[in-house]
């Protein structure tokens, strides 16, 4: 149903004189209002808000920000990514050297080496850097003094480093990840705020369109009244009961009413375009932009008391700005702890353990020291090297502490002081926001209460203006009043009708302002948004 906002106004203006009842007229503007050749698209307030959640380009654009911010969490987790490196092989070499003494094992010594292995490195959330590596190799030499030829080698090396003062603890090491998570939550709150803003814009645009349509109908009916009065004057001039000069005033009233109709039509077209842009009508409907939007939702005129304290409590719980500042405060607390940690001395515990083994064909020589006579060859292989390594008989280990004490450390102290100041700034902003929110909610609740009274008062004023016009028209019909007075009361009625429309529009907007401050605007409209940010209608 169109123009429900001013059903009472339209009904009152339909009361016309007997002259008009005998000769009804339809103005060109009225016929244009009914149809202009474009298809009609009926639209409820719920539909308008839901379409904006799905298709509004600003909503779609801002939806990408949380998605991008989420990837920063994974980017900061990269510092704890383990690394596995394979060397297959790490090196192959062949060397030929000339012997310079009898201990070189020959006049010409050739040696081949083939090495390979892997290394696994990782960092734990407590700051521990550790790695384990294994290397294996095979070497062959023509050196006459070689005990293993070919020689197979295998070794395992375990190293670790653990900060005991600066950089110790999971909270310090994972601070960047938690801050990235907080930034992601902030971006979601910013998106929620953008959604609220868009919903509020759609709400205002929807009721602005309703008001524009109702205002156009009001101006058209005012034009009809002006033409009726002009027709009365013309008839009375023809029969000689009214001077011709009296028709000038009525004609001027008609011209003024036509100007108001033209202006109201332009306002209606502008309001319709504004709403079409917000709901992205081209993407939301197959008919595209070239349609007449027909709003069908009744204005929420049910008057109810506002519990101000409860409204303030809900607003404080739902406010996106406060929630953003809360996440910022949590991140800043981590920054403060990180800055405090940077002022500590650096004390690192480090250690390593190496297990090694060799194997291969073992050559037993006779004839004393320096003899190259081979007595026996005990065959062996790579398994011997692995077995000797795992036995633990051939091990090397070390452990140590390193202490580094900064002198003055002005940079770390300055960062700590700045972090404390920033934390106090955020806390102060939160307190200021809470105070401002209390004031805004109180004012909005007061505006709702006052707006309800103004709607009732404007309705009474419009009804009285209608009664005055009816009485004046009856007096004019019997010649006890002037044309000027009738025209004046017609203008008074139009003004009273416009005032009632404006008061109703102000009231419904004040309701939306209060709901937005409370963070329940979408809920009150029956619309919900998904976690990913895509609008999903859920009519209640």
Phi, psi angle pair for 213, to nearest 5°: -65, -45
Q: Hey, CA dihedral for 382, 385, 388, 392, is it positive or negative?
A: negative
* Pairing state between β 292-295 and 40-43: parallel
Rounded CA-CA distance 210/204 in Å is: 10
Q: Is the dihedral of CA 120, 123, 128, 129 positive or negative?
A: positive
**Predicted pLDDT of residue 538:** 33
Residue-range domain boundaries for the chain: 4-72+178-331+419-532, 128-166+346-404
Beta bridge partners of 97: 109
Give Cβ neighbours of residue 468 (< 8 Å, ≥ 6 apart): 489, 492, 493
Tell me if residue 353 falls in helix, strand or coil.
strand
Residue 144: what pLDDT? 64
The whole-number pLDDT of residue 370 equals 53
pLDDT for 537 beyond 50: no
| 3-state secondary structure at position 304 | coil
By 3-state DSSP, what share of the chain in percent is helix, strand and coil, each rounded to 5? 60, 20, 20
DSSP 391-459: HTSSEEEEEEEEEE--SS-HHHHHHHHHHHHHHHHHHHHHHHHHHHHHHHHHHHHHHHHHHHHHHHHHH
Q: Do the beta carbons of residue 458 and residue 499 sit within 8 Å?
A: yes
pLDDT value of residue 98: 65
Q: What is the model's pTM? A: 0.74
> For residues 22 and 169, is the Cβ–Cβ distance under 8 A?
no
| Nearest one of 268, 293, 257 to 215, comparing CA atoms | 268
Q: What are the CA-CA distances from residue 488 to residues 11, 17, 218, 503 (Å)?
A: 20, 17, 16, 22
Condensed to tens digits (0 to 9), the pLDDT of residues 20-34 reads: 222 333 333 333 344
The pLDDT-based confidence of 123 (bands split at 50, 70, 90) is very high
The continuous run of DSSP H or E covering 109 comes out as strand 108-123
Task: Please give the pLDDT value at position 28.
Answer: 35
pLDDT digits (tens, 9 = 90+) for 295-312: 998 887 766 778 899 999
Residue 532 predicted with pLDDT over 60: no
| Amino acid 373: pLDDT | 56
Q: Rounded to whole angstroms, how far apart are CA atoms 284 and 281?
A: 5
CATH architecture for residues 4-72+178-331+419-532 = Up-down Bundle (1.20)
Summarize pLDDT for 317-365 with one digit per residue, the tens: 999 999 999 999 999 999 999 999 999 999 999 999 999 988 877 766 6
Q: Does residue 286 register a pLDDT over 50? A: yes
- C-alpha–C-alpha distance, residues 88 and 392, integer Å: 26
Lowest average pLDDT, out of 129-138, 275-284, 299-308, 423-432, goes to: 299-308
With a CB cutoff of 8 Å and minimum separation 6, the contacts of 507 are: 301, 448, 451, 452, 454, 455
Residue 294 clears pLDDT 60, i.e. is over it: yes
Architecture of 128-166+346-404 per CATH? Single Sheet (2.20)
Report, as an integer, the average pLDDT of 36-59: 85
Residues paired with 85 in a beta bridge: 119
Predicted confidence at residue 30, as pLDDT, reads: 36
- Of 65-69, 88-92, 136-140, 266-270, the one with minimum mean pLDDT is 88-92
Instruction: Give pLDDT tens digits for 481-514.
Output: 776 777 778 788 888 888 888 888 888 888 889 9
Q: Which helix (H) or strand (E) holds 134?
A: strand 129-141
| C-alpha–C-alpha distance, residues 450 and 513, integer Å | 14
Q: Using alpha carbons only, what angle is made at residue 317 by residues 316 and 319, rounded to the nearest 5 degrees?
A: 65
> Which residues, 6+ apart, have CB-to-CB distance to 329 below 8 Å?
423, 426, 427, 430
Q: What is the pLDDT of residues 225-269, one digit of tens each?
A: 888 878 877 887 777 767 777 778 778 888 988 998 999 899 999
């Amino acid at each position: 149903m169109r123009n429900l906002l001013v059903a009472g106004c339209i009904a009152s203006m339909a009361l016309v004189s007997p002259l008009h009842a005998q000769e009804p007229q339809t103005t060109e503007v009225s016929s244009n209002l009914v149809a202009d050749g474009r298809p009609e698209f009926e639209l409820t307030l719920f539909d308008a808000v839901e379409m904006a959640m799905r298709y509004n380009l600003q909503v779609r654009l801002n939806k990408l920000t949380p998605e991008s911010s989420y990837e920063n969490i994974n980017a900061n987790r990269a510092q704890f990514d383990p690394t596995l490196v394979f060397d297959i092989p790490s090196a192959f070499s062949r060397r030929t050297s000339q012997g310079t003494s009898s201990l070189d094992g020959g006049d010409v010594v050739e040696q081949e080496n083939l090495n390979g292995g892997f290394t696994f490195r990782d960092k734990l959330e407590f700051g521990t850097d550790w790695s384990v590596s294994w290397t294996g190799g095979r070497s062959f030499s023509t050196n006459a003094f070689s005990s293993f030829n070919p020689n197979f080698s295998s070794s395992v090396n375990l190293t670790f480093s653990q900060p005991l003062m600066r950089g110790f603890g999971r909270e310090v090491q994972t601070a960047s990840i938690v801050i990235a998570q907080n930034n992601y939550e902030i971006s979601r709150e910013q998106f929620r705020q953008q959604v609220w803003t868009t919903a509020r814009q759609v709400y205002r645009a929807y009721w602005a369109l309703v008001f524009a349509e109702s205002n156009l109908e009001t101006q058209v009916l005012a034009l009809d009244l002006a033409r009726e009065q002009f027709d009365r004057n013309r008839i009375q001039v023809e029969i000689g009961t009214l001077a011709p000069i009296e028709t000038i005033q009525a004609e001027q009233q008609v011209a003024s009413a036509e100007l108001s109709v033209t202006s109201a039509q332009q306002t209606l077209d502008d309001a319709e375009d504004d709403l079409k842009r917000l709901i992205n009508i081209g993407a939301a409907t197959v008919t595209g932009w070239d349609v007449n939007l027909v709003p069908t939702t009744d204005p929420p005129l049910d008057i109810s008391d506002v519990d101000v304290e409860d409204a303030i409590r809900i607003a404080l719980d739902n406010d996106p700005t406060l929630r953003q500042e809360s996440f910022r405060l949590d991140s800043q607390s981590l920054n403060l702890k990180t800055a405090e940690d940077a002022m500590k001395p650096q004390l690192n515990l480090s250690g390593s353990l190496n297990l090694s083994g060799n194997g291969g064909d073992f050559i037993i020589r006779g004839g004393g020291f320096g003899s190259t006579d081979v007595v026996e060859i005990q065959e062996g292989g790579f398994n011997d090297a692995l077995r000797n390594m795992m036995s633990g008989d051939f091990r090397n280990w070390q452990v140590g502490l390193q202490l580094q004490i900064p002198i003055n450390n002005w940079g770390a102290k300055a960062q700590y002081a700045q972090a404390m100041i920033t934390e106090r700034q955020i806390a102060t902003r939160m307190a200021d926001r809470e105070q401002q929110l209390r004031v805004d909610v109180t004012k909005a609740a007061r505006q709702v209460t006052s707006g309800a009274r103004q709607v009732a008062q404007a309705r009474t004023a419009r009804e009285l203006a209608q009664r005055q016009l009816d009485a004046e028209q009856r007096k004019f019909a019997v010649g006890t009043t002037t044309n000027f007075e009738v025209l004046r009361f017609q203008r008074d009625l139009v003004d009273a009708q416009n005032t009632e429309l404006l008061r109703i529009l102000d009231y419904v907007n004040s309701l939306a302002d209060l709901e937005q401050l409370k963070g329940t605007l979408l809920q009150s409209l029956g619309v919900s948004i998904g976690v990913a940010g895509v609008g999903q209608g859920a009519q209640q």
